[in-house]
Structure 1
Amino acid sequence: MLLLLLFLSLPPLSAAQLCHPNDLAALLAFKNSFSNPNSSLPSWDPQFHCCNWYGVECNDTTNRVLGLDIASVDLHGTIPPSLSKLHHLQRLRLHKLPNLVGPIPPELGQLPLLGYLVISWTNISGPIPSFLTNLRSLSYLILSFNRLSGPIPPSLPSLPYLYAIDLSRNLLTGPIPESFGHFLLSTALDLSHNMLSGDIPASLGNVNFSRIKLSRNKLSGDASVLFGKDKVADTIDISRNSFEFDFSKVGFMESLDVLDISHNKIYGSIPKQITEAVYLQFLNVSYNRMCGEIPTGWKLKYRSESWDNSSFFHNRCLCGVPLDPCK
């Protein structure tokens, strides 16, 4: 009874005291690093529990900050190094922040539990830093729709749990690293809409990609290594490059849903085995150098209505439905 009376006589914890002091300090430093903190993050008021602030996710038991998801607010400034003080952070998403500029700070490599990193639709610039490989828990890396430049770090495939990487719509240059043929997991890879060049590494044939998008670059060489009857990709988009290989020799995975090889220098015929891709919904082989009869007898589970002559035209001598009959 005496203990109960003593407990009831204690003053209630303030909202700020419910937050771990280190997390509270790091969040306030994040907010105050921007030139317009009060207008952009008005709910981030230390009078209120930080786990109820916009975009902040906490552990229900410990109140430690696990996630930070900031999107579509008017932040002006750079990514502050104070994020590295959120030692329990597992998820970070900075999305649609057009006035977020500058490089990715090296302090971001000091978050050992970070598994989900999204920085997209911003104006961050500079290189993709190699220190991201310090994030040994990282499984999901999205750095799309930014102004990142320079080469792709060859060390990224060393991350043991990485299964999704999207570096699309940046200003990246140079080749795809040979090391990208050594991902440890079945990986979804999107490098589209950059300025990458050079031959595609043959090592990419070692990876059973779940999805691969390389469109709108300046890549060349033999991309047939991405295909195979025993692979599991649902999307292969290598359009608008300078790939050159014999399409008649590739095999097709049953799981394929989207195939776009248009605007390349691919030759040969369309293999009959493509009709076994029962989930195929989008197909474009136009603007290549292929010949022969378009296969018939498709075994599609869901018949696509989007295939017309535009999926096949501007080849050397393809023929058959939906193009002109073969002679």
Structure 2
Amino acid sequence: MDCFTSKVSVLLLLLLSAVVLPKGNCRTHSCNENDQSALLIFKHHVVDPLDYLSSWSDEKHCCAWKGVQCDNVTGRVTTLDLNNQYLQGEINLSLLQIQFLTYLNLSCNSFTALSLTNSNYQSLVKPSNAYANFSSLKYLDLSFNEDLQLDNLQWLSHLSSLQCLNLSAIYLESQTNWLQTMAMLPSLLELRLSMCRLKSISPSVKFVNFTSLLTLDLSQNSFYSDLPYWLFNISSDISHIDLSSNGLRGQIPKTLLNLRKLKSLRLDDNGLTGPIPDWLGEHQHLQHLNLTENLFNGSFPSSLGNLSSLTQFGVSSDSLSGSLPNSIGQLFNLRSLYIGGSLSGVLSEKHFYKLFNLESLVLLSAFSFDLDPNWIPPFQLHEVDLRNTILGPTFPEWLYTQRTLETLDVSSSGISPTNADRFWSFLANVRSIRLSNNNISADLSNVTLNSAYIIMDQNNFTGGLPLISSNVLYLDLSYNFLSGTISNMLCSRLGRKMNTLYYLDISHNLLTGGIPDCGENCRGLTLLKINNNKLGGEIPPPMDLHKNNFSGNPLDISSFKSLAYLNLAENNFSGVVPTKIPKSIQGLILRGNEFSGNIPAELCSLPSLRILDLSQNKLSGSIPSCICNVPFNL
């Protein structure tokens, strides 16, 4: 081997050693003593009912503890993620003494307090150096600790490296200077303070030093003011703003155009007034624009059809007037369209011309449709909500082309005749359907319903009750003209699989006969409403049976463990007030019968009881004193 080859071989060995050796060293790296001490201080203040922190002991070094991650080379703690572990007690900021901690997530727990020091570990957390090592933290999430109240936010100002801060659903009502505190975080990219009960948004402040901010979420607070000046002078790079549900008023100022890189703007559920600005069409980067539930007036600006980047778009106001411009059909990236309020006019194929990617179509204004019966839409929808539109009289042909439909609502849309076989076959593949308040005439005797959620009240359905598959969870057929008995629905072979059905309303029909004992099939029912029919005989199992002809003494219904509501009002029941009632009962209505005797004290032991009506009976004696301790809904 010549000298050159030898030198190259030695060099390669050295390079391989440089790559391999650190990895071997990291396997023997133990947890840093200061990091471990800070974690143990934190644990000392935590109530841990599920024993999630059982691994936090001296038997293992802290890099092996649940929720803890360390750097592979140095062994220093860099991440602590205890999200959604049912932890309680106090958050001790000894955690912020961990010098290289960059990620801290304590969200979705039940912490109630926050502190900086602990008397039992005073030597480890001294006030003089309490903030000394805060500079590494980049991500802090304390959100959805809903009983946590922070009276002091000054400690945040020491987190100079913080990029993402989420304090959503934490009680910050007393924080009047929260804006100034947040502005002291020079590296902040994302700020989320949703549902914090904040009251002041400092609308008159002209400038706030949010030069790096990209995302701002202040939704669901209580500002009740104009949009603040400083909002339109913050970082020119900001891309996401959410100010929904804040009681904001006034008009949208044109200074919003300063935020040229805005991708998402949510101003829904406020009290904003004036016209919808036509200059909004200049925001070429907008992908998500939600202006629903406001007080805008005037017409719908056609310039919004220029927002070619939009994927989600919503507008509604009861003061808008005029029609929807054809330009809305140019939004070829749109996936979700929501238009509500007082708009009207006729919609044609032009309104949907290039909506190739549309998945959700919600039109809640009094639109009518002029569509070719052979029109095939350019989209395949998952959700259609056309309630209160003028859709009828026939079920639209184009809806039959939607093969991916999961949710359909065409309530109050003037639909009457249908092609029965095609209609029910189509609906059987839709998970949630709502056909309320139409004029649909159909005999349901030979129909099998298959959707999970079905609301078909206030129509002209006749014949016997339909069969239902085991997929059905919620069924409302009230206010129709259905007749016959209910045994076919409850006790059929198909019905034997209906343990998942939890809500059934067949009230206000023409049903007759008694109610069969199909308890095994109905055990999961939370609410059964069959009032205002012509039923009679012995009292059956649950739930809303008022205004029928039942008599006798109630049966034991304690085996119906999920029963929440029992209405026996205005029948002919006699004897004593029933006491064998499931613990789940929330509403018990026995008004207008022939019950006699005392009010049983056993009613006080029903833990969920909120509604009790025993009026218009023949009761005697005194009211049990324990009744006063029941938290009734008055």
- CA separation of 1:172 and 1:319: change in aligned 2, threshold 3 A: farther
Residue aligning to 1:196: 320
Aligned-partner Cα distance in 2 for 1:264–1:210: 21
Shift of 1:13: 12
Please list the CA deviations of residues 74-125 of structure 1 after superposition, one character each: whole Å capped at 9, or x if unmatched: 3232345366421111111102212x13111233222311100000221221
Residue aligning to 1:306: 432
Matched residue of 1:145: which SS? coil
Match of 1:75 among 187, 198, 206: 198
Please list the CA deviations of residues 243-301 of structure 1 after superposition, one character each: whole Å capped at 9, or x if unmatched: 12235545434430111222123456434342231111122333334565348289979
- After TM superposition, the structure 1 = structure 2 runs for residues 147-166 of structure 1, keeping only pairs within 5 Å, are 147-166=271-290
- CA separation of 1:86 and 1:289: change in aligned 2, threshold 3 A: same
Question: Which stretch shifts more, 247-256 or 45-54?
Answer: 45-54
Shift of 1:188: 1.1
- CA separation of 1:155 and 1:304: change in aligned 2, threshold 3 A: same
% identical equivalent positions? 22
Match of 2:155 among 40, 45, 57: 45
Please list the CA deviations of residues 202-258 of structure 1 after superposition, one character each: whole Å capped at 9, or x if unmatched: 22122232111112x11011233443586221111112x221223554543443011
- After TM superposition, the structure 1 = structure 2 runs for residues 107-122 of structure 1, keeping only pairs within 5 Å, are 107-110=230-233, 111-122=235-246
Please list the CA deviations of residues 145-172 of structure 1 after superposition, one character each: whole Å capped at 9, or x if unmatched: 2221221111112112111101112222
Shift of 1:17: 9.5
Matched residue of 1:232: which SS? coil
- CA separation of 1:268 and 1:204: change in aligned 2, threshold 3 A: farther
* 1:212 to 2:337 alignment: yes
* 1:177 to 2:177 alignment: no
- CA separation of 1:46 and 1:283: change in aligned 2, threshold 3 A: closer
Matched residue of 1:169: which SS? strand
Matched residue of 2:220: which SS? strand
Matched residue of 2:408: which SS? strand
Aligned-partner Cα distance in 2 for 1:196–1:296: 38
- CA separation of 1:94 and 1:236: change in aligned 2, threshold 3 A: same
Residue aligning to 2:583: none
Residue aligning to 2:189: 66
Residue aligning to 1:146: 270
Contact 2:189-2:212 at 8 Å conserved across structures: yes
Aligned-partner Cα distance in 1 for 2:413–2:244: 33
Residue aligning to 2:409: 284
Contact 1:254-1:279 at 8 Å conserved across structures: no
Shift of 1:193: 5.1
- CA separation of 1:163 and 1:309: change in aligned 2, threshold 3 A: closer
Shift of 1:182: 1.3
Aligned-partner Cα distance in 2 for 1:95–1:230: 30
Structure 1: gaps (5+ residues): 1-11, 20-38, 57-61
RCO comparison, higher one (Cα < 8 Å, 6+): 1
Matched residue of 1:205: which SS? helix
- CA separation of 1:68 and 1:308: change in aligned 2, threshold 3 A: closer
Contact 1:279-1:301 at 8 Å conserved across structures: no
- CA separation of 1:281 and 1:132: change in aligned 2, threshold 3 A: same
- CA separation of 1:53 and 1:117: change in aligned 2, threshold 3 A: closer
Question: Which stretch shifts more, 262-271 or 301-310?
Answer: 301-310
Structure 2: gaps (5+ residues): 1-128, 137-148, 168-184, 448-455, 463-634
How does the TM-score come out when normalised to structure 2? Answer: 0.40
Q: Given residue 203 of structure 1, which amino acid in structure 2 is its aligned partner?
A: S
Aligned-partner Cα distance in 1 for 2:345–2:328: 12
Matched residue of 1:203: which SS? helix
Aligned-partner Cα distance in 2 for 1:270–1:201: 25
Matched residue of 1:213: which SS? strand
Contact 1:165-1:188 at 8 Å conserved across structures: yes
- CA separation of 1:228 and 1:292: change in aligned 2, threshold 3 A: farther
Q: Given residue 356 of structure 2, which amino acid in structure 1 is its aligned partner?
A: K
Contact 1:247-1:271 at 8 Å conserved across structures: no
Match of 1:55 among 160, 166, 171: 166
Residue aligning to 1:246: 370
Q: Which has the larger radius of gyration?
A: 2
What is the count of residue pairs matched by the alignment?
A: 285
Matched residue of 2:337: which SS? strand
Residue aligning to 1:104: 227
